[in-house]
């Protein structure tokens, strides 16, 4: 990986850095703050939680993360709508008062002025469900199952303008800063359209690194990644596609949009997300941030039919089926293999 100065140092003409630099800075600060909340909560998950199949830690983190990020966006960009995964309806029910109390306590550690009412109001700033010419999309915890397992998860925030992702911030608190084995954990991937993709240490100090996709051009040599959980037969279908490509390395399985990050920094060559049950549609917040980071790192993102992801359809990627993420060089071969296997 090359070490380059912060983009702000040299991108000072009207056509680049300055345009979205405030959005980038706010998004970076927002996901870092939410990551601190998530780390506090994940650190307290003990074996008892897993034994009892208690999902409440991730629920508290989900609501808390969304509250903190919407609070920051509301302060910096009061006119911007936010399409976020969670809403406070369930949390406001009287029976959920103990849960709400836990959310408020966690949020107060980072935003001392928080109350039950402000936390619910911040969460509900994320209630946009239809297309707008400019909106943010937020997945406060992507990879909820990974979070509970003590594994990979991400906080994914993106700004869309005219249906295109312009700014992305993807915090991966449990992913090493670089692929090196001794690398400390915690990284935020940031991209602004036209300015490349960057890896920032999760903690505030440290220089961002510019990241790039791999140069692997032989499909047989490819390392691919996929979901940890196999929704329906997704793992089996991906295995068939891999076999057709001559891939021999076993897949790397992990939760969340951290998979996009692995492709973006060349640690994996492909991310295959095969369609699951008929009628399942992907959600905007599960892909927008990752898609820009990969594109800005030199890679390619389409659905399994080679169509660009359409982020202008409301909360669902209604015009797309599955997702294929690659270093670009391998893309055509993968689409061909998918068609050959007969995935639709
Ligand atoms: N049956 C299914 N098929 C495909 N994706 C699903 C799914 N059920 C849930 N998801 C989505 O897949 C995301 C996790 O993806 P991954 O497997 O790559 O970690 C979930 O995000 P959340 O964890 O934010 O709810 C959820 O939105
Ligand atoms: Mg998600
Ligand atoms: Mg989520
Ligand atoms: Mg979810």
* Residues in the ligand 1 pocket, defined by CB under 6 Å: 85, 139, 141-144, 227, 229, 231, 255-256, 276, 280, 283, 286
Q: How far apart are CA 193 and CA 177, in angstroms?
A: 22
pLDDT at 258: 98
Active-site choice (59, 124, 137, 144) = 144
Q: How far is CA 280 from CA 108, 318, 322, in A?
A: 37, 9, 9
Distance (Å) from CA 18 to ligand 2 centroid: 30
pTM to 2 decimals?
Answer: 0.95
Task: Decide if 2-211 and 219-341 have a common fold.
Answer: no
Domain ranges across the chain: 2-211, 219-341
Active-site choice (62, 124, 255, 303) = 62
Average pLDDT of the chain is: 94
**292-308 pLDDT, tens digit each:** 999 999 999 999 999 99
Task: Check if the beta carbon of residue 283 is closer than 8 Å to that of residue 85.
Answer: yes
Of 3.40.50.720, 3.30.540.10, 1.25.50.10, 3.40.50.2300, the CATH number of 2-211 is 3.30.540.10
Binding residues for Mg(2+): 85, 139, 141-142, 286
Q: How confident is the model at residue 278 (pLDDT cuts 50, 70, 90)?
A: confident
**34-78 pLDDT, tens digit each:** 999 999 999 999 888 888 889 999 999 999 999 999 999 999 999
Q: How confident is the model at residue 10 (pLDDT cuts 50, 70, 90)?
A: very low
Task: Check if the beta carbon of residue 326 is closer than 8 Å to that of residue 265.
Answer: no
pLDDT at 231: 81
Q: Look at residue 117 and tell me whether its pLDDT is greater than 60.
A: yes
Is residue 276 annotated as a catalytic residue, yes or no? no
Pairing outcome for strands 185-192 and 164-176: antiparallel
Distance (Å) from CA 315 to ligand 4 centroid: 13
Architecture label for domain 219-341: 3-Layer(aba) Sandwich (3.40)
Atom of ligand 1 minimally distant from the CA of 227: 17
pLDDT at 136: 99
């Amino acid at each position: 990986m090359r070490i380059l100065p912060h983009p702000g140092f040299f991108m000072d003409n009207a056509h680049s850095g300055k345009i979205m630099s405030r959005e980038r800075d706010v998004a970076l600060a927002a996901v870092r703050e939410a990551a601190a909340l998530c780390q506090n909560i994940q650190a307290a998950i003990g074996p008892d939680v897993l034994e009892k199949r208690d999902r409440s830690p991730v629920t508290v983190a989900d609501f808390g993360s969304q509250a903190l990020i919407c609070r920051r966006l509301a302060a910096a960009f009061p006119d911007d709508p936010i399409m976020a995964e969670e809403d406070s309806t369930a949390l406001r029910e009287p029976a959920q008062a103990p849960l709400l109390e836990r959310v408020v306590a966690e949020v107060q550690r980072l935003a001392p002025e928080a109350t039950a009412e402000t936390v619910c109001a911040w969460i509900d700033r994320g209630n946009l469900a239809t297309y707008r010419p400019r909106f943010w999309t937020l997945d406060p915890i992507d990879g909820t199952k990974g979070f509970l397992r003590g594994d990979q998860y991400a906080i994914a925030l993106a700004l869309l303008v005219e249906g295109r992702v312009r700014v992305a911030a993807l915090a991966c608190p449990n992913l090493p800063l670089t692929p090196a084995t001794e690398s400390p954990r915690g990284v935020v991937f940031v991209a602004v359209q036209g300015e490349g993709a960057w890896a920032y240490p999760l903690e505030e100090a440290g220089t961002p690194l510019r990241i790039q996709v791999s140069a692997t051009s032989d499909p047989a040599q490819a390392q691919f990644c996929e979901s940890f959980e196999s929704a329906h037969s997704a793992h089996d279908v991906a295995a068939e596609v891999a076999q057709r490509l001559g891939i021999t390395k076993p897949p790397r399985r992990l939760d969340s949009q951290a998979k996009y990050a692995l492709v973006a920094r060349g640690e994996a060559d492909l991310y295959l997300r095969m369609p699951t049950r008929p009628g399942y549609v992907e959600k905007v917040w599960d892909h927008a941030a990752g898609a820009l980071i990969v594109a800005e790192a030199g890679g390619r993102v389409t659905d399994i039919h080679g169509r660009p992801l359409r982020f202008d359809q409301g909360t669902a990627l209604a015009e797309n089926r599955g997702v294929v993420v690659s270093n670009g060089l391998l893309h055509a071969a993968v689409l061909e293999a998918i068609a050959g296997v007969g995935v639709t």
